């Protein structure tokens, strides 16, 4: 997952008067000790932005050389304050500070919704003659952003567009906040937790009856659903997890879908998907539907076989006939892991002893050193929580600082509950601006499973995209790219961990870590393709639901979900409400969830260059200089062509579906 700023193209300017290259200085995160400090910083940003807009509107020069850098300066001014605040909203332990950072973002979004309708700036933009391809792409993206914010609409429609944008910002925040601050706990006796590793529940608080109170954090809820022998225990935890957000979030999601539909209609589009996809690689919902249908065709038989196998395991365990056996949603992970263990002698838990969290972080950092020639130097700057860490990213060849990277890895109350990377600030070679990114996860302190190591590497892939970016404009820096391409650099790295040469790097960073036995890794490599039919079909389902929610017909989110899920092999579970915590589609991935499958086509293609040489500095450097350095300033297809030396294709992706 990648958290980019909505309507990221554009904005700000204390630097509007000073666009000469400055000396690159490492970034430091602001430390706020009160909401009042947040508000004061926010006031400064808002004043600067208003001044900057006024100066921009007073310009008469229409040469690209003057206008485009100043537009980017507005964006940078916003990012200076709102970039770190967006991360703090997700991780800061103090609710008053989180609330203040959220309020600040709403103030910025309101400014942006109005600024992007400025007739004067829009007019200036249309007169710019771009000097080269980078300026041309930035100009086009900027004109698109102004157009999509309503710069060309009549005044009465402009007002409604602004109101809708503001309401969408507010509701998206609310949706995420409800999930983040969820306090649901489920009580279990020790007997009910049979099968669940004791380290998951042993230290949990207990209720007055002595039952263990387990919350929704992934290192807790995940193992209960995957391991509890008692099906009622699995079911209770599954229902709690899929009840998060509740009817309040369902109502919010419904409002978001209606507002996005109305927004698209203002621009003459039948659906929000039509409105949104025209700016993506996919271009139209029809192209996505076609792609999704091809993917489903490729895995549908395999999905049937996967379920038949799991039913066999359940039938044997319950000593009943296979025909009468159904895999329930809370059975899926339980029987998947049972089958994986039986077929491949692999159990995710086995890996925790080999992958301690600190060593795992050092391991992924060292991979980047080997592949991309960069070092990560721990920095002692004060941060928002004792668990958070800062690293200065340094270029090994020149010893020059490149960026800052922040990591916050363990679950705690009120923290963002998934794994994601926040692009705190983007690079701009124009002003010597160095980027920064924040990687947030919820790992188990006892060690990682191989899947959790994969998740860490995925988010680290986003972070590398952010911190190794060297774009001219911050607006196009790092992960400020099209949403259906943004996952490719992170997904690409996911399968590095199955290569024994790669895993051997662990011993370079952790002398006391035991190496993963070669035979276990070989078995894990085979096991990772197990149940791919089920897994890819699930991604297909999420993507299809998202497209339908934002498609031609108005939909009530829960009704649509129940209807669509009823047609899947496990059916719909009465009372469950998964859309109420499906944060992707409430915010940045609305009508864009298909990106995970779409980006995977690019990721698989990128991997072909690393075949048999996953630690090649030569290939790594080429990748860094093309794909990573260029962020969004060059079209994805062109970047992949530059890197691979041939046009991109989907052969590797479809081959992987059959592995
Ligand atoms: Zn991602």
Residue 19 pLDDT greater than 90, yes or no: no
- The values of phi and psi at residue 436, to 5°, are -150, 145
Q: How confident is the model at residue 1 (pLDDT cuts 50, 70, 90)?
A: confident
407 Cα to the center of ligand 1, angstroms:
15
Helix (H, G, I), strand (E, B) or coil at 222: helix
CA of 131 to the centre of ligand 1 (A): 34
C-alpha torsion 150→154→159→162, nearest 10: 0
Q: Give 640 Cα–ligand 1 centroid separation in angstroms.
A: 19
Helix axis angle, 119-127 to 64-91, nearest 10°:
130
Per-residue model confidence (pLDDT) at position 13: 28
Ligand 1 centroid distance, CA of 585 (Å): 14
Q: Strands, E, within 148-268: which ranges?
A: 186-188, 212-214
Q: Which of the four pLDDT bands, split at 50, 70 and 90, describes residue 20? A: very low
Q: What percent of the chain has pLDDT above 70? A: 96
Span 510-532, pLDDT tens digits: 999 999 999 999 999 999 999 99
Q: How far is the CA of 122 from the centre of ligand 1 (A)?
A: 33
Residue 77 near residue 53 (C-beta atoms within 8 A):
no
Alpha helices in 10-94 (DSSP H): 35-57, 64-91
Q: How far is the CA of 583 from the centre of ligand 1 (A)?
A: 13
The pLDDT value recorded for residue 60 is 79
Residue 23 exposure: Cα atoms within 13 Å on the Cβ side: 1
Cα 619 from Cα 623, distance rounded (Å): 6
Residue 26 in tokens: 């490492």
461 alpha carbon to ligand 1 midpoint, in Å? 8
Residue 9 has pLDDT above 90, yes or no: no
Q: How far is the CA of 570 from the centre of ligand 1 (A)?
A: 26
pLDDT at 558: 98
CA 604/CA 251 separation, integer angstroms: 38
Which pLDDT does position 285 carry in this prediction?
98
Distance 463 CA to ligand 1 centre (A): 10
Sign of CA dihedral 316, 322, 325, 331: positive
Distance 403 CA to ligand 1 centre (A): 20
For residue 458, report the distance from its CA to the centre of ligand 1, in Å: 6
The pLDDT score that the predictor gives to residue 193 is 98
Determine which of 15-29, 316-330, 370-384, 437-451 has the lowest per-residue pLDDT on average: 15-29
491 C-alpha to center of ligand 1: Å?
Answer: 7
CA 599 to centroid of ligand 1, rounded, Å: 10
End-to-end CA distance of the chain: 25
* pLDDT at 17 (0 to 100): 33
Poorest-pLDDT segment among 44-48, 216-220, 318-322, 570-574: 216-220
Cα 308 to Cα 96, 303, 339, 513, 545: the distances in Å are 51, 9, 11, 39, 25
Residue 31's CB is within 10 A of a number of other CB atoms, namely: 12
Q: What percent of the chain has pLDDT over 90?
A: 93
Contacts 24+ apart (CB under 8 A), 648-651: 648/601, 648/602, 648/605, 649/605, 650/601, 650/604, 650/605, 651/605
Sign of the torsion angle spanned by Cα atoms 150, 156, 162, 168:
negative
- Distance (angstroms) between ligand 1 centre and the Cα of 487 equals 5
Instruction: Label residue 24 by pLDDT band (50, 70, 90).
Output: low
pLDDT the model gives residue 63? 66
Ligand 1 mean position, distance from CA 168 (Å): 22
Q: What is the DSSP code string of 450-480?
A: HHHHHHHHHHHHHHHHHHT---S-GGGSTT-
Residue 66 pLDDT: 84
- How many Å lie between the centroid of ligand 1 and the Cα of residue 280? 17
Span from the CA of 594 to the centroid of ligand 1 (angstroms): 12
- Confirm if 496 and 454 have CB atoms less than 8 A apart: no
Distance 18 CA to ligand 1 centre (A): 35
Rounded to the nearest angstrom, the distance between the alpha carbon of 469 and the centre of ligand 1 is 17
568 with 541: CB under 8 angstroms? Answer: yes
- The first and second tokens of residue 186, run together, are 């489920």
On whether the CB atoms of residues 404 and 24 are closer than 8 A, the answer is: no
> Measured in angstroms, how far is the CA atom of residue 211 from the centroid of ligand 1?
36
Q: Quote the ligand 1 centre to 459 CA distance (angstroms).
A: 6
pLDDT tens digit string along 561-612? 999 999 999 999 999 999 999 999 999 899 999 999 999 999 999 999 999 9
Distance separating alpha carbons of residues 590 and 592, to the nearest angstrom: 5
> How far away, in angstroms, is 210 Cα from ligand 1 center?
40
Instruction: Determine the distance separating the centroid of ligand 1 and the alpha carbon of 486, expressed in angstroms.
Output: 7
d(Cα 86, Cα 39) in Å, to the nearest integer? Answer: 14
- Indicate the DSSP class of residue 401: E
**pLDDT on residue 541:** 98
Q: What is the Cα–Cα distance from 21 to 2, expressed in whole angstroms?
A: 29
How much distance in Å is there from the Cα of 1 to the middle of ligand 1?
A: 3
Task: Confirm if 225 and 330 have CB atoms less than 8 A apart.
Answer: yes
Ligand 1 centre to CA of 424 (Å) is 16
pLDDT at 18 over 60: no
Question: How far, in Å, is the centroid of ligand 1 from the Cα of 442?
Answer: 15
Ligand 1 centroid to Cα of residue 24, in Å, is: 29
Task: Tell me the pLDDT tens digit for each residue of 620-639.
Answer: 999 999 999 999 999 999 99
pLDDT value of position 23? 46
Q: Say how many CA atoms lie within 13 Å of 296 toward its Cβ.
A: 15
Dihedral-angle region of residue 357 (phi above 0 means left; psi in -120 to 50 means alpha; beta otherwise): alpha
Q: What pLDDT digit, counting tens, does each position of 81-138 carry?
A: 999 999 999 999 999 999 999 999 999 999 999 999 999 999 999 989 999 999 999 9
Confidence of residue 498 (pLDDT cuts 50, 70, 90): very high
Residues 166-171: contacts with CB within 8 Å, 24+ apart?
166/106, 166/109, 166/110, 166/113, 167/255, 167/259, 168/256, 168/259, 168/260, 168/263, 169/6, 169/105, 169/106, 169/109, 169/110, 170/106, 171/252, 171/255, 171/256, 171/259, 171/586
The pLDDT assigned to 321 comes to 96
Question: Is residue 21's pLDDT more than 90?
Answer: no
Question: What beta strand segments (E) does 343-498 contain?
Answer: 374-379, 389-395, 401-408, 420-425, 436-440
pLDDT digits (tens, 9 = 90+) for 274-306: 999 999 999 999 999 999 999 999 999 999 999
What's the CA-to-centroid distance between 20 and ligand 1, angstroms? Answer: 34
**pLDDT value, residue 12:** 27
Ligand 1 center to residue 278 CA distance, Å?
Answer: 22
CA of 616 to the centre of ligand 1 (A): 24
Rg for the chain, CA atoms, rounded: 25
Q: What pLDDT is stored for residue 505 in this prediction?
A: 96
**What's residue 358's pLDDT?**
94
Whether the Cβ atoms of residue 63 and residue 129 lie closer than 8 Å to each other: yes
Q: Which two tokens stand for residue 282?
A: 């996919």
- Whole-Å CA distances, 21 to 388, 432, 433, 434, 545: 31, 5, 9, 12, 47
DSSP H or E segment with residue 2? strand 2-3
Going from the Cα of 338 to the center of ligand 1, the distance in angstroms, rounded, reads: 28
Residue 350 Cα to ligand 1 middle (Å) = 26
Confidence check: pLDDT of 229 > 70: yes
Report pLDDT digits (tens) over 132-191: 999 999 999 999 999 999 999 999 999 999 999 999 999 999 999 999 999 999 999 999
Domains of the chain, with CATH numbers?
2-177 (1.20.1050.40), 185-242 (no CATH), 353-529 (1.10.1370.40)
Distance from Cα 462 to the centre of ligand 1, integer Å: 7
Helix (H) or strand (E) holding 3: strand 2-3
**Alpha-carbon gap, residue 95 to 117, rounded angstroms:** 34
Neighbours of 164 (CB within 10 A): 18
Task: Say how many Å lie between the CA of residue 114 and the centre of ligand 1.
Answer: 30
For residues 323-336, give the mean pLDDT: 97
**Is 503 exposed, middle or buried (CB count within 10 Å of its CB: 0-12, 13-18, 19+)?**
buried
Would the pLDDT of 339 be above 50? yes
Measured in Å, residue 97 CA sits from the centre of ligand 1 at: 26
Report the alpha-carbon distance of residue 357 to residue 444 in Å, rounded. Answer: 7
Find out whether 108 and 53 touch, Cβ atoms under 8 Å: no
Q: Return d(Cα 629, Cα 618) in angstroms, integer.
A: 15
How does residue 59 score in pLDDT terms, banded at 50, 70 and 90? confident
From CA 540, how far away is CA 453, in angstroms rounded? Answer: 24
Name, in order, each residue with C-beta under 8 angstroms of 509's C-beta and a sequence gap of 6 or more: 359, 362, 363, 365, 366
Say what the pLDDT of residue 375 is. Answer: 97
- pLDDT of res. 26: 74
Centre of ligand 1 to C-alpha 595, Å, is 10
The Å distance, Cα 315 to ligand 1 centre, comes to 36
Q: How far is CA 591 from the centre of its chain?
A: 15
Measured in angstroms, how far is the CA atom of residue 489 from the centroid of ligand 1? 9
Q: Helical H runs in 116-132?
A: 119-127
pLDDT of res. 61: 65
**Residue 527 · residue 306 · CB < 8 Å:** no
């Amino acid at each position: 997952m990648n958290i980019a700023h909505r309507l990221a193209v554009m904005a700000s300017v204390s630097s509007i008067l000073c666009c000469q290259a400055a000396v690159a200085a490492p970034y430091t995160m602001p430390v706020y000790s009160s909401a009042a400090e947040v508000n004061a910083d926010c006031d400064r940003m808002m004043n600067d932005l208003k001044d900057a807009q006024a100066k921009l509107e007073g310009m008469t020069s229409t040469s690209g050389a003057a206008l485009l850098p100043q537009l980017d300066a507005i964006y940078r001014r916003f990012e200076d304050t709102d970039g770190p605040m967006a991360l703090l909203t997700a991780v800061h332990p103090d609710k008053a500070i989180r609330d203040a950072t959220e309020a600040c973002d709403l103030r910025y979004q309101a400014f942006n919704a109005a600024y992007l309708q400025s007739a004067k700036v829009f007019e200036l933009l249309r007169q710019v003659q771009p000097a080269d391809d980078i300026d041309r792409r930035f100009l086009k993206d900027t004109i698109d952003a102004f157009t999509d914010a309503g710069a060309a609409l009549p005044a009465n429609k402009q007002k409604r567009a602004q109101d809708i944008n503001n309401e969408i910002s507010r509701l998206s925040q609310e949706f995420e906040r409800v999930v983040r601050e969820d306090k649901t706990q489920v009580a279990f006796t020790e007997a009910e937790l049979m099968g669940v590793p004791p380290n998951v529940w042993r230290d949990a608080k207990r209720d007055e009856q002595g039952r263990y109170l387990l919350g929704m954090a992934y290192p807790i809820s995940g193992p209960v659903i995957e391991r509890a022998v008692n099906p009622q225990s699995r079911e209770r935890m599954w229902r709690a997890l899929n009840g998060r957000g509740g009817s309040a979030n369902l109502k919010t999601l419904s409002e978001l879908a209606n507002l996005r539909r109305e927004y698209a209609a203002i621009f003459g589009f039948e659906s929000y998907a039509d409105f949104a996809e025209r700016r993506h690689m996919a271009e139209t919902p029809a192209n996505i539907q076609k792609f999704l249908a091809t993917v489903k065709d490729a895995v549908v038989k395999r999905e049937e076989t996967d379920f038949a196998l799991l039913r066999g395991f359940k039938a044997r365990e319950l000593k009943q006939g296979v025909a009468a056996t159904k895999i329930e949603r809370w059975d899926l992970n339980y029987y998947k892991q049972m089958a994986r263990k039986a077929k491949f002698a692999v159990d995710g838990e086995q890996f925790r002893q080999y992958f301690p969290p600190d060593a795992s972080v050092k391991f992924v950092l060292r991979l980047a050193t080997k592949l991309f020639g960069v070092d990560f130097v721990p920095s002692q700057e004060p941060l928002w929580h004792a668990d958070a860490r800062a690293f200065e990213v340094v270029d090994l060849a020149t010893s020059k600082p490149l960026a800052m990277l922040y990591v916050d890895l363990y679950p705690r109350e009120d923290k963002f509950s998934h794994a994601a990377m926040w692009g705190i600030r983007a690079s701009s070679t124009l002003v010597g601006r160095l980027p920064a990114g924040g990687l947030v996860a919820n790992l188990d302190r006892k060690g990682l499973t191989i899947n959790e190591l994969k998740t860490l590497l995925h988010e680290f892939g986003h972070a590398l995209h952010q911190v190794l970016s060297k774009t001219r404009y911050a607006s196009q820096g790092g992960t400020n790219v099209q949403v259906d391409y943004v996952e490719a650099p992170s997904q690409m790295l996911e399968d590095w961990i199955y290569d024994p040469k790669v895993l051997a790097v662990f011993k370079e960073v952790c002398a006391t870590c035991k190496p993963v036995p070669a035979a276990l890794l070989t078995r894990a490599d085979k096991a990772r393709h197990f149940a791919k039919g089920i897994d890819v079909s699930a991604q297909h389902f999420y993507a299809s639901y998202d497209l339908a929610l934002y498609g031609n017909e108005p939909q009530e989110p829960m009704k649509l979900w129940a209807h669509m899920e009823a047609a899947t092999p496990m059916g719909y579970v009465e009372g469950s409400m998964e859309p109420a915590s499906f944060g992707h589609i409430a915010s940045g991935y609305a009508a864009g969830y298909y990106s995970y499958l779409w980006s995977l086509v690019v990721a698989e293609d990128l991997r072909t260059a690393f075949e048999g040489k996953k630690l090649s500095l030569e290939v790594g450097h080429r990748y860094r200089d093309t794909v990573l350095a260029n962020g969004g300033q060059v079209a994805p297809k062109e970047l992949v062509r530059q890197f691979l030396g041939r046009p991109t294709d989907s052969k590797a992706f479809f081959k992987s579906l059959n592995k």
